[in-house]
Every structure is written in C-alpha cells, then in structure tokens.
Copies of this chain bind each other. A is one copy, B any other.
C-alpha cells in the first residue's frame, strides 16, 4: 500500500510554482495576483482565506484580500466584483463561500469574469470543463487529478466509482475521469443517497472517490484488493486535541488501507492539493 501524500506533493508543486514566478520576474514580467473577497466574520472562512493568502506569498504571488461587512448589499458586492473584473492588475478572483443568506451566491458567481474565475465555479467554466474544453477546473477535482498524475496512477479503462454527486466534487470528478484524457478514460459510476446498494458498486471499483461527507462511511468489506481510494471527506469531530477537533475522512482508513494499492490519508491527502489548483489556475489566468 502506497500513501498518496498530498502534503508532500503540494509542497513540491509550490516550489515548482515559486521557480516559475522567479523566472517571470527575472524576465521583467508581472507577479500573478489573486484577489479574495471575504464577506463577514465567519471563523472558518477567515482561516481558509488566510491560508490562501499565505500560500500566495509562499510562491511569490501578489494577493489582496477585500474584507467586506456581512451587511453588505448584493448590489454593492456585485459592484466590488465588477471593479476587480476590470482591474488589469488582478489576474484571479475568488469569493469565499458561504455568503450571508441575503445574497444570491449564484448571482455572485456569475458576476465574476470567467477569465478571472480561478475557483472554476462560473457556468462557463463548468460547461467548458464538462465538454473537455480549456477551462478553470475547481480546486478539489483538479487537485485529485493532479495527485493521480503525480503518482502515475493508470486510469485508462479502469472502473471508477464516485460516491457523491455534489457540484463541487462528485459531478466534476465524474466528468473529468470519463473524458478522453490522462488521467481519464475511466468507466465511471456515480453513486449517491438514492443508490440502492453502494457496496455492490464499490466492490467492483478499481478506483473509489469517496465524497459524500459521512465520516468513516467506506468500510473494508466494501473495497476490493488493490483498489485506489481517494478520500475527499473532511468532517470536523470534537476531540481532545489542541484545536478541540479532529478531521475525519469518508473512509475508514484502518480497515480500508491494508486492501489498497494507493490511498489518500485524511488529513494530508486531498486537502493540501486543493490550494495547489487555485495557485495553478491563478498562474494560468495571469497568462503564464
């Protein structure tokens, strides 16, 4: 069993990006610049944005965080996005979700210039991704694809079972892995809450992507020997740790890992790879 070490892979890729940025600067170019919009005071959102900011610094990107009060009107927020859209200094924009309830998230997502939409949530980018056209792919699916690539995991002709059909993980993963590409060319099955016998499907899978958000859902008797298991779950459960919680994946690691050829740990698997996708998308948005 080989551990798919997202942390180490992400660190290595950050170094690669930092070298590319140095090279851009040496050639007299402009640093890629990511702008993040943070609305309100949600603790988790602040942590995520701070993490994105520090990752930008680490690779040499410029970053701006626009902090807006939770009472901001939808109109004012859309105006702020429009300003960033038309600011040639800024290459990529993300709006940290969730937004306060009085704001229509979909409207906000669609207000972002698709060419600066490094989160890949704009319908234009979703549509192009699904159709196999050049696009910004959202962070988690792109991070998983990158991890499969870095570990040279053969996907062509393999049967991949995806548990979960969310718009941010399950669905894009299904579309990406079934495409004529590498990684890709999988026979893909999407299972979800309405699937009658998930175990019947997972037992046939060469690759399993667990993205349903139920801690420890995938048990040892649901996985065939030699499977590749990607655990996208990150549920916070209370624990006697410094932070007061522990992150638990959708996979019962102790039971499943011994049967796997490859498996991602939680934490340190898919999680660290997501920030990499955001950095790579910003680099691409900057024309590099």
Binding site for B on A (CB under 8 A): 106, 122-128, 130-133, 156-157, 159, 165, 167, 171, 174-175, 178-180, 185-192, 194-196, 201
A187, B164: Cα distance in complex, Å? 10
A29, B202: Cα distance in complex, Å? 54
Q: Of the candidates B128, B156, B178, which one forms a contact with A165 in the assembled complex, judged by CB atoms under 8 Å apart?
A: B178
Instruction: Note all chain B residues with C-beta closer than 8 A to A125.
Output: 123, 127
Given known contacts A127-B124, A130-B126, A157-B196, is B178 in contact with A190 (CB within 8 Å)? yes
Contact B194 A185 (CB under 8 A): yes
Contact B106 A133 (CB under 8 A): yes
Instruction: Note all chain B residues with C-beta closer than 8 A to A188.
Output: 189-190
Please give me the residue from chain B that is nearest to A200 by CB atom. B204
State the Cβ distance, A21 to closest chain B Cβ, in Å. Answer: 30
Listed by A's residue number, 10 A-B pairs whose Cβ atoms lie within 8 Å are: A123-B131, A124-B127, A126-B131, A131-B171, A156-B194, A171-B175, A171-B178, A185-B192, A186-B194, A187-B189
A195, B165: Cα distance in complex, Å? 21
Instruction: Note all chain B residues with C-beta closer than 8 A to A175.
Output: 130, 171, 175
Q: Of the candidates B124, B131, B174, which one forms a contact with A167 in the assembled complex, judged by CB atoms under 8 Å apart?
A: B131
A273, B58: Cα distance in complex, Å? 55
A167, B159: Cα distance in complex, Å? 20
Contact A179 B157 (CB under 8 A): no
Instruction: Note all chain B residues with C-beta closer than 8 A to A194.
Output: 156-157, 180, 185-187
Instruction: Note all chain B residues with C-beta closer than 8 A to A106.
Output: 133
A188, B125: Cα distance in complex, Å? 23
A288, B123: Cα distance in complex, Å? 24
Q: Which 6 A-B pairs have the closest CB atoms?
A: A123-B127, A127-B127, A126-B127, A189-B189, A187-B195, A185-B194
A174, B122: Cα distance in complex, Å? 21
A167, B133: Cα distance in complex, Å? 11
A130, B171: Cα distance in complex, Å? 8
Please give me the residue from chain B that is nearest to A130 by CB atom. B130
Please give me the residue from chain B that is nearest to A155 by CB atom. B194
Contact B167 A132 (CB under 8 A): yes
State the Cβ distance, A7 to closest chain B Cβ, in Å. Answer: 31
State the Cβ distance, A262 to closest chain B Cβ, in Å. Answer: 20
Instruction: Note all chain B residues with C-beta closer than 8 A to A190.
Output: 174, 178, 187-189
Contact B195 A179 (CB under 8 A): no
Instruction: Note all chain B residues with C-beta closer than 8 A to A174.
Output: 174, 178, 190
Instruction: Note all chain B residues with C-beta closer than 8 A to A171.
Output: 130-131, 175, 178
